[in-house]
Amino acid sequence: MSQSVSVTNQELDQLCVNTIRTLAMDAVQNAGSGHPGMPMGMADAAYVLWTRSMKHNPRDPHWPDRDRFVLSAGHGSMLIYALLHLTGYDLPMDELQRLRQWGSKTPGHPEHHLTPGVETTTGPLGQGIANAVGMALAERHLASRFNRPDCALVDHFTYVIVSDGDLMEGISHEACSLAGHLKLDKLIVLYDSNAITLDGPAHLSFSEDIRGRFAAYGWHVQEVDGHAPEEVATALAQARATTDQPSIIITRTHIGFGSPNKQDTKQAHGAALGAEEVALTKQALGWPAEPAFLVPDGVYAHMQQVVQNGQQQQAAWNELYARYQATYPELAAAWERTWSKALPSTWDELLPTFEPDAKGLATRKASGATINALAGQIPALLGGSADLHSSNNTLIDGVGVLSAEAPHNRNIYYGVREHGMGAVMNGMAVHGGVIPYGGTFLTFSDYLRPTIRLAAQMEAQVIYVFTHDSIGLGEDGPTHQPIEHLAALRAIPGLYVLRPGDASETPYAWRAALEHTDGPTALVLSRQNLPVLEPRGQHDVYGELGAAEGVLRGGYVLRSPAGEPDVILLASGSEVSIALDAVLLLRERQIAARVVSMPSWELFAQQDQSYRDSVLPPAVKARVAIEAATTLGWERYVGDAGRIIGIDRYGASAPYKEIYQHYGLTAEHVAAAAADLLGT
């Protein structure tokens, strides 16, 4: 700091803030694309937040009790990259210089896992604020589970910066309404109110009263000049002091602050300013024209006081934790287990088994039984439903409803907020310490679909319990009957989709989901009862039945004739038992059929070629797939010579057995197709 002895603290602060601004401008200009305006506008407030409010240690971005920061307005990624760099995270200057380039840690939108200090992947608007609600909820739950009067092991805030666009998105409504309902008072939102969207002045499309809206949600609302650091600091302090209410601070800013010709215009929003305007802006900010990416003397030293503070804070927490371990060894052990996602080693004892049952059992019910069998052993499991608990069978018995007053409870009532639920689960998963699952009807997987893709991109362990998985739901009709959803979910990279064929397969689907610790899993379950085929082994009608554990390999031989089969019948879920029935019809025609249960394409694709060939011998070209869903994609398994019996139109409102008949999803149809393939 030799050159800055005469610089006042206020001037030094201003220097730091303008460093953030100019780094954002320069990096975007250098990349040739990006969003400079938002970082320039929010630099003052974010600087105050990061250097004066937040509890974080740049040397350990994984410290469990750090404050979380979410840049919901992910397009302004240079704001967080500049802050990470300047406060001493492992993000060197050359990464800023490679903004939006192949292999850099500074992609167009911030990505969790890729960049140290980025807590969640943002960019698709509204997701970040909803993730933050999940983080605050995880914090609240873990605090109530682990804290003791003398030991607040979990005690951190979640800070978010949101844009106009975030608040226009419906997901922000769902998540913020829920946050208000749950009184998540450690959630603090800075709303970058700059009155500009990509298409121009926000008033062209957006004129709601944000104060009134958030007050209606039960939030604490403040409004400040975003370019007045002390106002921001005071408001943040007030927000932290507020109990029983989440906080939003309406932060009035100028997008592209400092740019003589583009400030307060959409031109500052989504494109580089241009060399000339960069030069003019630097001039206006009293900044040297050259070099680009300048960090003036004193800036690093000043901003990296965060490191020292953070290290001290973490050291204090480590001491606290040591005391906790000594005083509460069992809780500390549970704490370690919950953060490491330790799973029980005794699956075989834990997983429920089901007796064969003529009436049968819906796989959603088998799923409910599995949840309850596992919940005691896996206390990290935290479940909810978008107002369909009793239909999704997602309730954990005897542990109550999670509420503002009882945050230690493990049943979350999300309300009819599927999209919010998905994103809240993502936030909980990336927060850590919990394994969230959530239910709705499979049809409404569409409502939360954007969050599934983000869970997959973030490799976040989120478990979806999608019940009522086909026309088999019957009378509720086509609006509620999924057709395209299985294929649409299978198309998402990184997502496991499992559709167990009976009650016995269902616990293994759950096991696969729990073992899939680096990504999301969708469990696809029937509303209607399905024959329970277990106990597997010798079966008096079908011959030997493959063990349900085969679910873990994605596809397995459920039933096969003694010799080479003439035909292979492939099915998932509720159609597995139809395929089995077809075996008997084919036997009458002297056709020997194998049945392959295919609960998960993704897991099957992971098996080696020899296993896959043992299940689907390449020589057997006669194959019939049956699934109560679109046929799209089944060609992969039945091949050119095969047939697919599925549904490529919408369903109907009627008792489900009638719909199955009308739509040709019957053993007779399968048998006829197989016989036809074989020319008999």
Instruction: Give the residue, chosen from 49, 133, 153, 178, that forms a contact with a second copy under the rule CB under 8 A.
Output: 178
Instruction: Give the residue, chosen from 478, 535, 561, 664, that forms a contact with a second copy under the rule CB under 8 A.
Output: 478
Which amino acid does the sequence have at 87?
Answer: T
Q: Is 288 helix (H, G, I), strand (E, B) or coil?
A: coil
Residue 420 or 500: which CB sits closer to a second copy? 420
Q: Which of residues 371-410 bind a second copy (CB under 8 A)?
A: 385, 387-391, 401, 403
342 is a contact residue toward a second copy (CB under 8 A): no
Q: In terms of C-beta density within 10 A (0-12 exposed, 13-18 middle, 19 or more buried), how is residue 420 classed?
A: buried
Query: Parallel, antiparallel, or unpaired for β 357-362 and 68-71?
Result: unpaired
Q: What x-and-dash track marks residues 267-306 binding a second copy by CB under 8 A?
A: ----------------------------------------
Residue 288 or 655: which CB sits closer to a second copy? 655
Which amino acid does the sequence have at 454?
Answer: L
Residue 16 or 132: which CB sits closer to a second copy? 132
Residue 48 or 624: which CB sits closer to a second copy? 624
> Nearest to residue 576, comparing CAs of 637, 641, 526, 632?
526
- Given the residues 95, 418, 575, 602, the one annotated as active site: 418
Task: Tell me phi and psi for residue 331, to 5 degrees.
Answer: -65, -40
Residue 200 beta carbon to a second copy: minimum distance, rounded to whole angstroms:
8
Neighbours of 336 (CB within 10 A): 11
Instruction: Give the residue, chosen from 56, 109, 499, 623, that forms a contact with a second copy under the rule CB under 8 A.
Output: 109
344 is a contact residue toward a second copy (CB under 8 A): no
The window from 246-254, 304-312, 476-484, 541-549 that contacts a second copy (CB under 8 A) reads: 476-484
Residue 398 beta carbon to a second copy: minimum distance, rounded to whole angstroms:
17
Residue 255 beta carbon to a second copy: minimum distance, rounded to whole angstroms:
14
The window from 4-12, 207-215, 372-380, 426-434 that contacts a second copy (CB under 8 A) reads: 207-215
Span between the terminal Cα atoms of the chain, in Å: 90
The count of C-alpha atoms lying within 13 angstroms of the C-alpha of 475, restricted to the half-sphere facing its C-beta, is: 1
221 is a contact residue toward a second copy (CB under 8 A): no
Task: Tell me phi and psi for residue 499, to 5 degrees.
Answer: -125, 90
Residue 272 beta carbon to a second copy: minimum distance, rounded to whole angstroms:
11
418 is catalytic: yes
Reduced 3-state DSSP string for 398-452: CCCECCCCCCCCCEEECCCCHHHHHHHHHHHHHHCCCEEEEEEEHHHHHCCHHHH
Residue 659 or 667: which CB sits closer to a second copy? 659
Instruction: Give the residue, chosen from 16, 34, 367, 501, that forms a contact with a second copy under the rule CB under 8 A.
Output: 34
Query: Parallel, antiparallel, or unpaired for β 357-362 and 529-532?
Result: antiparallel
192 is a contact residue toward a second copy (CB under 8 A): no
Q: Is 351 helix (H, G, I), strand (E, B) or coil?
A: coil
The DSSP letter of residue 517 is T
424: its two tokens: 């809240």
Q: How far apart are CA 295 and CA 35, in angstroms?
A: 20
616 is a contact residue toward a second copy (CB under 8 A): no
Instruction: Give the residue, chosen from 18, 87, 115, 122, that forms a contact with a second copy under the rule CB under 8 A.
Output: 122
247: its two tokens: 């906080």
Q: Which of residues 133-152 bind a second copy (CB under 8 A)?
A: none
Instruction: Give the residue, chosen from 488, 503, 513, 551, that forms a contact with a second copy under the rule CB under 8 A.
Output: 488
Residue 88 or 128: which CB sits closer to a second copy? 128
The count of C-alpha atoms lying within 13 angstroms of the C-alpha of 382, restricted to the half-sphere facing its C-beta, is: 34
121 is a contact residue toward a second copy (CB under 8 A): yes
Residue 454 or 671: which CB sits closer to a second copy? 454
487 is a contact residue toward a second copy (CB under 8 A): yes
The window from 78-86, 302-310, 340-348, 441-449 that contacts a second copy (CB under 8 A) reads: 441-449
Instruction: Give the residue, chosen from 61, 108, 274, 379, that forms a contact with a second copy under the rule CB under 8 A.
Output: 108
Residue 204 or 562: which CB sits closer to a second copy? 204
Residue 477 beta carbon to a second copy: minimum distance, rounded to whole angstroms:
4
640 is a contact residue toward a second copy (CB under 8 A): yes
The window from 320-328, 338-346, 371-379, 411-419 that contacts a second copy (CB under 8 A) reads: 411-419
113 is a contact residue toward a second copy (CB under 8 A): no
Q: What is the CA radius of gyration of the chain?
A: 28
Q: Which of residues 563-602 bind a second copy (CB under 8 A)?
A: none
Query: Parallel, antiparallel, or unpaired for β 435-441 and 411-413?
Result: unpaired
195 is a contact residue toward a second copy (CB under 8 A): no
Task: Tell me phi and psi for residue 23, to 5 degrees.
Answer: -60, -40
Residue 534 beta carbon to a second copy: minimum distance, rounded to whole angstroms:
29
Residue 363 or 385: which CB sits closer to a second copy? 385
Q: What x-and-dash track marks residues 641-670 binding a second copy by CB under 8 A?
A: x------xxx-xxxx--xx--x--------
Q: Which of residues 54-93 bind a second copy (CB under 8 A)?
A: 74
Geometric angle at alpha carbon 448, from 443 and 454, rounded to 5°: 135
Instruction: Give the residue, chosen from 344, 450, 535, 561, that forms a contact with a second copy under the rule CB under 8 A.
Output: 450
Alpha helices, DSSP H only, in 500-575? 506-515
Q: Is 300 helix (H, G, I), strand (E, B) or coil?
A: helix
Q: How far apart are CA 289 and CA 20, in angstroms?
A: 15
Residue 223 or 387: which CB sits closer to a second copy? 387
Instruction: Give the residue, chosen from 352, 494, 535, 664, that forms a contact with a second copy under the rule CB under 8 A.
Output: 494
Q: In terms of C-beta density within 10 A (0-12 exposed, 13-18 middle, 19 or more buried), how is residue 350 classed?
A: middle
Residue 344 or 477: which CB sits closer to a second copy? 477
The DSSP letter of residue 148 is B
The DSSP letter of residue 396 is P
415 is a contact residue toward a second copy (CB under 8 A): yes
Q: Count residues contacting a second copy (CB under 8 A)?
A: 113
C-alpha distances (whole Å) from 126 to each of 380, 415, 485, 498 are 26, 18, 23, 28
Q: In terms of C-beta density within 10 A (0-12 exposed, 13-18 middle, 19 or more buried), how is residue 346 classed?
A: exposed
The DSSP letter of residue 2 is G
593: its two tokens: 């059929």
Active site residues: 418
